[in-house]
Amino acid sequence: MRKAITLTVNGRERGVEVEARTTLLDLVREQFGLTGAKLGCDIQVCGACTLLVDGKPVSACSMLAVDADGCAVETIEGLGSKDKLHPLQEAFMEFGALQCGYCTSGFILTAKALLAENPQPSDAQIRDYLAGNFCRCGCYQEIMQAVKNVVGES
């Protein structure tokens, strides 16, 4: 069964027809060609597929596209502008908060949501908020440093 939905993706309105069982991740990756979000676990535990829906981080592997009807979706591709990256992107590079990069989009978007909710989080609050994202390369220390640095600067 196909259903027509409308949503904004990185600020642009999009109308699209989807199967009822299409996930938001598949919609964004396959129909919109925004492949920054990755499929890691497919069961809502690893955070690699994280997208922001109305500003909140969601596991796009486990959210139906039809449920995003009328929502604002933000992906890693929507961060920063051509000549200026988002401060989190800058900090991740500066502190070495990624190796293979497969988890990076998920971590940066989750951290962005955190900072929107709580611009001055404590270390423990950062750790809690990012607890649902895995980095198998083991960049946790550097990720903490990067996020803390952005907090410090804002």
Partner 1 sequence: MELADIGKTFRRLDYLTKVTGRAQYLADMNVPGMLHGKILRSPYPHARILRIDASKAEKVPGVMAVLTRDDILHDEGIEPFYGPVFKDQTIVATEKVRHVGDPVAAVAALTIDAAEAALKLIEVDYQELPAVLNIDQAIKPGAMLVHESVKLPTSGFADLAEIKPIDGTNLCTHFRLNRGDIDKGFAEADRIFEDTFTLPATQHCFLETHACIASVEPGGRITVWATTQNPFVVRTQLANIFKVPVAKVRVIVPYLGGGYGGKVYPKVEPITVALSQKAGRPVRLVLSREEVFYTITKHAAVIRMKTGVKNDGTLVARECEIHLDTGAYAEIGPRVAKKSGYTAAGPYKIPNLKIDSYSVYTNKPPAGAFRGFGVSQSAWAVESQMDIIAAALNIDPVELRKQNGYNEGDKFVTEETLRAIGLKECIDQVAKSIGWETRDEDREQNRSSIRRGKGLACMIKATITPSISCAVVKLNEDASLSIYSGTVEMGQGSETVLAQIAGKELGIPMPTIQVLGVDTDVVPYDLTTSSSRSTFHMGKAVQLAAQHIKRQLKEIVASEYGVPEDKIDFADGKIRLPESQLDYSEVMFKRFGMQGGTLVGEGQVKTSTKDEFGEKSTSAFWFLAAGAAEVEVDLDTGKFKLLKYASAVDVGKALNPLGCQQQLAGAAITGMGQAMFEEIAYDNGQLINPNLVDYVLPALGDMPAVIDSIAVEFPDRNGPFGAKGIGESALIPVAPAIANAIYDAVGVRIKDLPIKAEKIFVALADLDRQ
- Does 144 bind partner 1 (CB under 8 A)? Our answer is yes
Residue 23 or 149 having the CB closest to ligand FES = 23
* Residues in contact with 126: Cβ distance below 8 Å, sequence separation at least 6, in sequence order: 111, 114, 144, 147, 148, 151
145 makes contact with ligand FES (CB under 6 A): no
Q: CB–CB of 80/139 below 8 Å? A: no
Binding-site size for ligand FES (CB under 6 A) equals: 22
Is 48 a binding residue for ligand FES by CB under 6 A? The answer is yes
Residues 6+ apart with CB under 8 A from 79: 85, 86, 88, 89, 108, 109, 112
Specify the stretch interacting with ligand FES by CB under 6 A; choose among 1-9, 12-20, 38-46, 70-78.
Answer: 38-46
When asked if residue 92 is in the footprint of partner 1 (CB under 8 A), the reply is: yes
Give the residue from 91, 94, 83 showing the smallest Cα distance to 115: 91
Q: Closest distance between partner 1 and the C-beta of residue 15, in Å?
A: 23
* Binding-site member from 4, 6, 35, 55 for partner 1 (CB under 8 A): 35
> Which among 117, 109, 115, 116 is positioned nearest to 149, based on CA atoms?
115
Position among 24, 65, 115, 130 found at the interface with partner 1 (CB under 8 A): 130
Only one of the segments 3-11, 76-84, 96-104, 114-122 lies at the binding site for ligand FES (rule: CB under 6 A); that segment is 96-104
Contact assessment for residue 113 and residue 57, using Cβ atoms and an 8 Å cutoff? yes
Using CB under 6 A, list all residues that contact ligand FES.
39-42, 44-49, 59, 61, 98-103, 135-137, 139
